[in-house]
Every structure is written in C-alpha cells, then in structure tokens.
Amino acid sequence: MKLLIKPNLDKDGAADCARNICHLVQEYGMTPIMEEDLSPFFSDVEGVVFGPPGEVYRICNICVAIGGDGTILHAAKCMMPFVRPVLGINLGRLGFLATLEPDQLSLLSRLKTGEYQQENRMLLEVLYTAANGRKRRFLALNDAVVAKTEMAKIVDIRVQCGDRLVGNYRADGVILAAPTGTTAYALSAGGPIVDPNIDAITMTPICPHSLFSRSILFSGESVIQISPAAKGQQLFVTIDGDEGVPFQDGDLLTVQKSSVRIPLINLTGNQFYEVLNNKLLRRAYE
C-alpha cells in the first residue's frame, strides 16, 4: 500500500508530523510517497519515494493531508480525477474535514488492516458560462461563492431553480454549499448545518439587505442558476475559496450535484454529530 504524504509546510509542526508519519507507516508495512518538490525537505527520511505530482497521485492508494481544512480541500482537489481517498491530519483550528489529531498517529495502522470508515462526500458541479459562450467547469467540495468585489456596495443577484425564479437578492453575495461546506463559510453567514449523508444544496445570502432573506435548502436533484440581476456590477465567483473567475453581465453560473464523490477516511469511528459537538458546540462554552 502506498500513502501519499501531503503536508502544508506553512503550518507549524507539519514537517515534523510528516516525518513521524513516514517512519510509522513503514513500520506498519506501507510505503510513504511524496511529490518531488518536497525532496529538499525530506531527503533525509529513509524509505520515502518521490515523484512528479501526476504520477504520485495516480499510484497512491490513499492521500494523507497534514494541515488545516484548506490543506485538506487542496488535497481533495488533487485526488478528484483519480478518486483516491483522503485522510486529514489536523494542524489547523477547527479542522472540520480532519478526523485525526497529531497525537493519534498510531491509528494509521488501521489503513493497512482496513479498519476504517469511508465517507463518500457529495461534490458540486459548477458550470460557468460567460456571455461570449466560453465555459469552465469546476468541482467543489465546500462551496461556490458569488460575491461583490467592491467595498461598501450591495449587489443584485438572480437565483433560479430549474426554470423557476427563486428570488432576486440584494446582498453582498450568495453561497451555494455542498453538505460538507455547510460548516464552513455558509455557517459563518448564518446558514444551516447539513448532515453530510444528505444530498442537498444550500443557498445562503451574504449580509442580505432584507429581514426576510434566509437560507434555502434545495434537493440534491436541483439545478440552481445564478446570474447578475443588474448591469455594471463587479462580481466574482470563487470555488472552495481558491479558483475563481469574474462574473459579469450576461454570465451564468449553474450549480448541481456532481456524479463524482470524494472519499474521506475516518479512522476514529466518530460520527458527524460527535465531531460537531467536539469542534463547534464545546468551543462555544470554552
């Protein structure tokens, strides 16, 4: 079994954690592999195989991402074309996508024995169609965000479900979230938390200019369309807080459930509501 070790070296302790994992997994009969640009940092670790990104993504059985939720999101995007499972080691704050803490690395032995759960998370398929007909397609594990680019300005955004008008929203923007993303930006904007086992798309306005603009939960079979509702607005579409494109007059964003799912590995056996309690509810009383 080959494990792709993918640390975020900007995180304190990530390099040491990666070294510990490389030593441990070899004791457990697994081979650690890394992208070749990490060789200068880990060439002193015996037994690590380095290779080009595309090659190590293809040959790995599991990706172990070390960092915060952003690190795990990035690793998941790298693994999407190859449908490889991702295991997150938390070095961030909440680390909602991570199921393992640095003091639980001994549980990595379960990867070899198969004593773990695999959660196949729903992805959003996001199709951006420019006014000139140019198209770009994205996959999102967390969310697609349409937001303003100018400070102190409210924008008008039209939301449809299929051929039905949902509403025209005056707000700072809107968030279209997959279930996994409902504990991220959408939660901060006042959206609901959705169990990741439920296929659904959540639409949450960002700072809406109305007391009656609330989140809407659409079924997983819905096709949501977003477009500018006024001319001359400066908008931008961001996918999982990373990839993005300007969103202008005549552009259209179509969001629906993807046929692709990303597998996340759970070594501890803790279920969603236990994680929710540990990472969010308990902290409210600290």
Contact 42, 121 (CB under 8 A): no
Indicate if 143 belongs to the active site: no
Do both 22 and 90 map to the same domain?
A: yes
> Which of the following is catalytic: 69, 143, 172, 240?
69
Do both 179 and 248 map to the same domain?
A: yes
Global confidence as pTM: 0.90
User: Hey, how many other C-beta atoms are within 10 angstroms of the C-beta on 160?
Assistant: 16
What is residue 76's three-state secondary structure? helix
Do both 275 and 255 map to the same domain?
A: no
pLDDT at 281: 60
Ranges assigned E (strand) in 8-161: 31-35, 49-51, 62-67, 86-90, 117-129, 135-140, 143-148, 155-161
| Half-sphere CA count of 149, side-chain side, radius 13 A | 12
Per-residue pLDDT at 285 exceeds 80: no
Do both 149 and 38 map to the same domain?
A: no
Q: What is the pLDDT of residues 232-242, one digit of tens each?
A: 999 999 999 98
Do both 94 and 197 map to the same domain?
A: no
Q: What is the pLDDT of residues 95-122, one digit of tens each?
A: 678 889 999 999 999 999 999 999 999 9
Do both 104 and 143 map to the same domain?
A: no
Do both 7 and 92 map to the same domain?
A: yes
Per-residue pLDDT at 282 exceeds 60: no
Q: What's the total number of domains in the chain?
A: 2
CATH of the domain at 215: 2.60.200.30
Range of the domain at 98: 2-116+267-285
| Residue whose structure tokens are 């990839």 | 243
Per-residue pLDDT at 283 exceeds 60: no
CATH of the domain at 92: 3.40.50.10330
Q: Where are the alpha helices (DSSP H) in the chain?
A: 14-27, 39-42, 53-59, 69-79, 109-113, 185-188, 272-276
Do both 95 and 152 map to the same domain?
A: no
